[in-house]
Amino acid sequence: MTERDIAAAPDTSRLTPVELSTYRAALRGEVLPDDEPGLASLLARDILFPNTHEPGTYVPAPSRYLETQLTDAVLKALTGVTAALAAVPAHVRELEAEQQRYHYSPSPVGTLLLRTVPEVNAETIRTIQSAGSEILTAQPGHRKPQVLKGALPRDLQAAQRGVTVRTIYRTNGRSNPTQRDWVATMTRAGAQVRTLGEDFLRLIIVDRKHAFFEVYGDDGTVQPAAAWYTQDRGVCAVLAAHFWQQWERADPWLAGETDAGPAKDDGDTKTTKIQRTIVRGIVAGKSHRQIGENLGLSERTVTAQVSKLREALGLETVPQLTFWWATSPERLLP
C-alpha cells in the first residue's frame, strides 16, 4: 500500500476555480458543451443537474441537499482513511513475514555516538536490564572497584532471571580482589568468565540486537569516555563473531581460583604461541580441520603441532594433553 492508494478527504467546502467558473455559467443559464471544464465533476458530485426543459443548460442543487451531499462525501472519504489507517499494523506484519521468509533482517536504527560517561552508563544499564537471553561482555582494561561493585547487582539480576552471561577479562585481572569477588558471585549465579592474556576489543553485546563498542580516533587512539551504540543486526553479528573467537581462545576462570597474576614466559615453557592457540581450540571442541581453517594452517600442520607437543611433554593421548593444559600455568600465556 502506498500513499497514492490511501484516499484523502477532499476539500468539498469549496469548488476549484474551474468548477466555480462553470457553476457561475450554469447559474447565468448559459448553454454548456459536454466537455466544459469542471462540468463532469459538478455533475458527479450532484452540485449541478441537467435542465430537462432546456438541453445544454443546468440547474444547481438546493442548498440543503447540497450540504447533505458534501457532508456525505467527506464522511465517506474519512471512513476510507480510517480503514486504511487501521490496516497499517497488519500490513507491516505481512511485510515483516516476507522479510523473514527471505532471511532479511533490517536494521531498526543506525549507530549512535554516546559522547560522555553518563550517556554510556544510562544506555548500557537500560539495555542490559531489558536483556532477554544473552549478555556478552569483553573488558580488556582495569575496572575500578566502585564500577565492579555498582555493576554487580545489575549483572547478578540478569543471571538470576535466566539470561546467559559470558565475560572475558584480561589475565592480569585475576590479581584484582574486587574482580575475583565479582567472578565468585557471578559464577555461582550461572555466569561464565574467561581470561585472555592478549589485547582484545571492549564490547557489550545484548541479545545479538544491541552492541556497544569503543570509539577510535583517526590516529588509532581510543576515546575512553565515549562509545558507539548500534542496533544494526549486521554489525551486532560481526561483533558477536569476534567475541566468540576471543572466547574460544580464553581460559575459564572458575570461582575460588586465586591465580596471583598472568603467567610469564621465563624461557622454559613447553609450548609455543601457535601450540597454545591450537590447544585452546581443542579444549573448545574444534576439530583439527576447523582449527586449521581459523589459523590459516592445513589440518596436517595442526596434527603435527599437537604430536610435537605431546612428545615434548611425554604424553600419549590428546585427553592427557588437555588434562595437562587445564593444570598448567602456561594456559595463562598469550
Query: Does the pLDDT value for residue 139 go beyond 60?
Result: yes
* DSSP helix/strand/coil, 75: helix
In a shared domain, residues 78 and 136? no
In a shared domain, residues 123 and 242? yes
| CATH number of the domain to which 309 belongs | 1.10.10
Cα separations in angstroms, 95 against 98, 99, 120, 188, 250: 5, 6, 34, 44, 42
Phi, psi of 332 (to 5 degrees): -90, -5
In a shared domain, residues 77 and 10? yes
263 in a structural domain: no
Which pTM value belongs to this model?
Answer: 0.52
| pLDDT for residue 2 | 45
258 in a structural domain: no
pLDDT band at 104 (very low <50, low <70, confident <90, very high): low
- Say which residues have a Cβ less than 8 Å from residue 129's Cβ, sequence separation at least 6: 154, 157, 158
Q: Looking up cell 523473514, which residue turns up?
A: 100
pLDDT digits (tens, 9 = 90+) for 208-256: 999 999 998 888 788 888 899 999 888 999 999 999 988 888 888 875 5
| pLDDT for residue 6 | 41
Q: How many domains does the chain have?
A: 3
Domain with 27, as residue range(s), is: 3-88
98 in a structural domain: no
| pLDDT for residue 7 | 42
